[in-house]
């Protein structure tokens, strides 16, 4: 990455079925998606020119749109092909891909039945989400002020823009205090997730992770669960109380951007970067690499 603001990068963005210069990929300030959060998106990674689980991400994008009440006017096949073509046009091999769909500007108000549904796809080079040296030592997490909402109050199965507002607030507050991220509880006071990644804990050779009944069941989360079970490691999905963290030995986060990232501290609780965490880091690196080789060595 060049360090430039994202609106100043060079290249092309796929926008409603056409390729437009990066700087021309604009929407009107009165777009419904900006004012009312009627927008859904995906975060995807390409390794060695291959988008990891591209079809699964596109299926979720369509499902998210339906959760917030609109239909994307492009088929899954069209979107998958557009992502592949965009990578080639941008000459990208290892990259981040961001499809985003939103309601346009024909109506301004809560009601927006007549608004055009737009879809854009951007791709760019993307380094590690967390500092690599910090990542191998394990991240330090704060406890977030805000909680994941009751599923009766928000479409939690959607990867929807509006659901991330409390995540941004929580992450900014954590970084202001010197932490890398924050752990969010849910509306019941149970452990939920980090601001943009799912969380796992390890004790006595078993992996414990919160049941995703009010937050997004991440694609990387499911991938890592499969990798762990393929090694014969028991994975238990259940309700988890924050005080249980005192007894856990290891902790890690998962997400498309975060991949598998160890955690060394959450509030007053400490964890080691242990063997199971390192093994899953290696297994995930091998899984996403199209040549079947480890993407990076794990110290």
Residue-by-residue pLDDT tens, the chain, 299 positions: 567 899 999 999 999 999 999 999 999 999 999 999 999 999 999 999 999 999 999 999 999 999 999 999 999 999 999 999 999 999 999 999 999 999 999 999 999 999 999 999 999 998 655 556 667 789 999 999 999 999 999 999 999 999 999 999 999 999 999 999 999 999 999 999 999 999 999 999 999 999 999 999 999 999 999 999 999 999 999 999 999 999 999 999 999 999 999 999 999 999 999 999 999 999 999 999 877 543 433 33
pLDDT for position 297: 33
Q: How much is the pTM? A: 0.93
Out of 53, 157, 159, 171, pick the active-site residue. Answer: 159
Rounded to the nearest angstrom, the gap between the alpha carbon of residue 156 and the centroid of all alpha carbons in its chain is: 14
pLDDT for position 131: 59
d(CA 241, CA 191): 6
- CA-based nearest residue to 270, from 241, 250, 243: 250
pLDDT for position 133: 66
Domains in the chain, ordered, with CATH? 6-124 (3.30.470.10), 132-288 (3.20.10.10)
Active site residue 159: yes
d(CA 282, CA 17): 38
Bridge-based pairing state of the strands 269-270 and 117-124:
unpaired
d(CA 235, CA 221): 11
> Nearest 5°: phi and psi at 25?
-85, 85
């Amino acid at each position: 990455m060049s360090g430039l603001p994202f609106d100043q990068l060079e290249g092309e963005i796929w926008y409603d079925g056409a390729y437009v210069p990066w700087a021309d990929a604009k929407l009107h300030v009165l777009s419904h998606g900006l004012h009312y959060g009627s927008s859904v998106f995906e975060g995807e990674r390409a390794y060695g020119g291959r988008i990891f689980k591209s079809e699964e991400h596109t299926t979720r994008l369509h499902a998210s749109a339906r959760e917030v009440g609109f239909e994307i006017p492009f088929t899954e096949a069209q979107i998958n092909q557009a992502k592949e073509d965009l990578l080639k046009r941008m000459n990208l091999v290892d990259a981040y891909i961001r499809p985003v769909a939103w309601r346009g500007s024909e109506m301004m108000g809560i009601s927006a039945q007549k608004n055009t549904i737009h879809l854009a796809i951007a791709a760019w080079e993307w380094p590690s989400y967390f500092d690599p040296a910090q990542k191998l030592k394990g991240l330090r997490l704060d406890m977030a002020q805000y909680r994941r909402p009751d599923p009766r109050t928000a479409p939690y199965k959607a990867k929807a823009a509006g659901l991330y507002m409390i995540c941004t607030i929580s992450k900014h507050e954590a970084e202001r205090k010197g932490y890398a991220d924050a752990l969010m509880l849910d509306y019941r006071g149970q452990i939920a997730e980090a601001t943009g990644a799912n969380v796992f804990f390890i004790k006595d050779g078993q992996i414990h992770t919160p049941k995703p009944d009010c937050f997004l069941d991440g694609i990387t989360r499911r991938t890592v669960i499969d990798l762990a079970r393929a090694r014969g490691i028991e994975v238990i999905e259940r309700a988890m109380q924050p005080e249980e963290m005192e007894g856990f030995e290891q902790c890690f986060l998962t997400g498309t951007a975060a991949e598998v990232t160890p955690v060394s501290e959450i509030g007053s609780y400490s964890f080691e970067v242990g063997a199971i965490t390192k093994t899953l880091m290696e297994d995930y690196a091998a899984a996403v690499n199209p040549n079947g080789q480890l993407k990076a060595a794990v110290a």
